[in-house]
Chain A
Amino acid sequence: MENFLTDIAELLEEDEIREEDVLEDFEEWDSLTILSIIAYTNEKYGIQISTAEINKSKTVGGLKKIITGKM
C-alpha cells in the first residue's frame, strides 16, 4: 500500500491528500472518480469493491481499510 495516497490523490486530481480527508468533499468526487477507484483497486490489488462500499468508507483512510480488508 506504499503508493496508495499518491495514487488516490492522482485519481482525485489533488496534489496531496491525507487519510482523514472526507471523500465526497473533494472537488472531483463523482461517479467517474468512483469507477476509476474501482478499476484501480482491481488492477493494482486484484480486489473488487462496490460503489456502496466506497461511499460507506467516508474518508481516504476508511477506503484504505476496506481495501486492506479484502486483500
Chain B
Amino acid sequence: MNLTFHDKKITGILTVLPSNIVKFEDEMDNYNFSKAKSLKLKLAMGYNTHRIVADNTTVSDLCLYGLQYLVEKKYLKKDDIDALILVTQSPDYFMPPTSNVIQGKLGLKHDTICLDINQGCAGFEVGLFQSFMLLEQEEINKVVLLNADILSKKVSKRDRNSNPLIGDAASISIVEKSDKPNVINCNVKMNGDAYDVLMIPAGGFKLPSSPKTSEMKEDDAGNFRSLDNLIMKGDEVFNFVQREVPPMIDSLLEKAKRKREDVDYFMFHQPNKFMLKKLAEKMNVPYEKMPNNVVENYGNASGASIPTAICHNISEEIRNEDMLLCFAGFGVGLTWSSILMEVGHLDFCEFVEFKKEGE
C-alpha cells in the first residue's frame, strides 16, 4: 500500500542508550557452541558490544530521561507537544498505555494525544506515518515519536540466535508541519500469516506466564529458550527480507520518480551486518550508502535502530545539510515498510546515556 504525505519534516533526533555495555566475548560461555564457532559468527554477523538495561529499567524510564534532557537543553518545550506516540513491544504495563504514563510524569498538558503502537522492526516507519497523519489536523503542530524497546529482558541468554544481536534503546524524533512544501512517499505491507516468525509465545492473555512456560528447552541448533523468551526463525526472516525489501524500494523510488543514485543514504533497520550487506549487494547499493554498524556498537533495539544509525553515522551532516533519505524497516508481524523523504538541518541529532538517579 502506498501512502503520500505533504509538508512535514523531522526536526530533531535523540537516541537514549543504557550505560551498561555487554561484550560478545563475555557471553560466549553461555552458548552451546565452540569458542571458534562463536568467534566466526561474531565476525560474519558483526557482533561486538551491545547496550543492555539494568534489571529494573523500563521503557518509560528511558523515554522520560531523553525527554527531560531535551527540555533542559531547550530543544523541546513541553507545551508545544500535541501528540506523544510510543512504538514499543515492551510496554511498562498491559494497561494503561505507557505513553500516558510518560505524559503524566513529564507533566504535559491534557490537550495531548497519547498513543501506544505495537510494532517492532518497522516501528520507525509506522510511527512516522502515524505522526504524519496526526499532523494533518489543524490543532496538531508537533508530534513526539518515541521508539523504545528493552527486549533483552525477553531474550534467553543461552540463545546464540538472538542474544548477541539484541540491544535496548529509546529514540525520540520530533515531527512537525513544514512551511517548505515537500512530498513524502511511503509504502507498507503486512503478512499476518507469518505472525510466528518473530514472537514471544507466552506472557500475554492467550498463554500467561507460568512455571511451565519458563522451562528452558534446547532446539535443533543447540539454543536454549523457554516460551517466555523471544523466538526468531532466522532463516525465514533472511529469506523474507531478501525477497520483499528490494522490490519494495524499487516501487517506492518509482512512485516518487527518483533514481537509486538520488538517495544519499539508505537508513535501514539494523538486524545484523550480514543481512544488510546481502541486501546492499542485491540492491546494487554501495555498502557506505547503507550503514550496517549499529549491531556491533549498540545491538538491535527494533524500532530505535534507524534513529540510532542516523545518530551514529551522519549526525553532523544531517544538522548542516539537506539529504534525501530512504528508510526501511522489516520484521515482526511480518511487516515491511519504507519511506523516502528529505531530511536535514536538524536542531539536534545526538546520543545521551541513560543513568539512574544516584548513579
Contact = CB atoms under 8 A, between A and B. Distances in A.
Interface of A: 28, 30-32, 34-36, 38-39, 42-43, 48-51, 55
B274 A30 contact: no
B235 to A, nearest CB: 4
A50 B33 CA distance: 22
Nearest to B242: A42
A52 to B, nearest CB: 8
A31 B161 contact: yes
Contact of B33 (A30, A42, A51): A30
28 contacts: A28-B37, A30-B33, A30-B37, A31-B160, A31-B161, A31-B221, A31-B234, A32-B41, A32-B45, A34-B235, A35-B234, A35-B238, A35-B274, A36-B44, A38-B238, A38-B239, A39-B274, A42-B239, A42-B242, A42-B278, A43-B282, A48-B239, A48-B242, A49-B239, A50-B236, A51-B234, A51-B235, A55-B220
Contacts of B274: 35, 39
What 8 A-B pairs have minimum CB-CB distances, sorted nearest first?
A51-B235, A48-B239, A31-B221, A32-B41, A50-B235, A42-B242, A39-B278, A30-B37
Contact of B221 (A28, A30, A39, A42): A30
Contacts of B40: 32
B221 A38 contact: no
Given A39-B278, A55-B220, A32 B37 contact: yes
Contacts of A49: 239
A13 B57 CA distance: 44
Interface of B is mostly: helix
A35 B235 contact: yes
Contacts, number: 42
Given A32-B37, A39-B278, A50 B239 contact: yes
A39 B40 CA distance: 16
B281 interface: yes
B105 interface: no
Chain B interface residue bracket vs A: 20 to 34
Interface in B25-62: 33, 37, 40-41, 44-45
Contacts of B44: 32, 36
Nearest to A39: B278
B243 interface: yes
Contacts of B243: 48
A51 B40 CA distance: 19
B189 to A, nearest CB: 17
A39 B281 CA distance: 11
B271 to A, nearest CB: 12
Given A31-B234, A49-B239, 9 more contacts: A32-B37, A32-B44, A38-B238, A42-B239, A42-B242, A48-B239, A50-B235, A50-B236, A50-B239
Interface string B75-96: 0000000000000000000000
A70 to B, nearest CB: 12
A50 B239 CA distance: 8
A10 to B, nearest CB: 14
A13 B139 CA distance: 63
Contact of B238 (A28, A30, A39, A55): A39
Contacts of B281: 43
Interface in B148-187: 160-161
Nearest to B233: A51
Interface string B208-236: 00000000000011000000000000111
Nearest to B33: A30
Interface in B250-291: 274, 278, 281-282
A42 B37 CA distance: 23
A28 B243 CA distance: 27
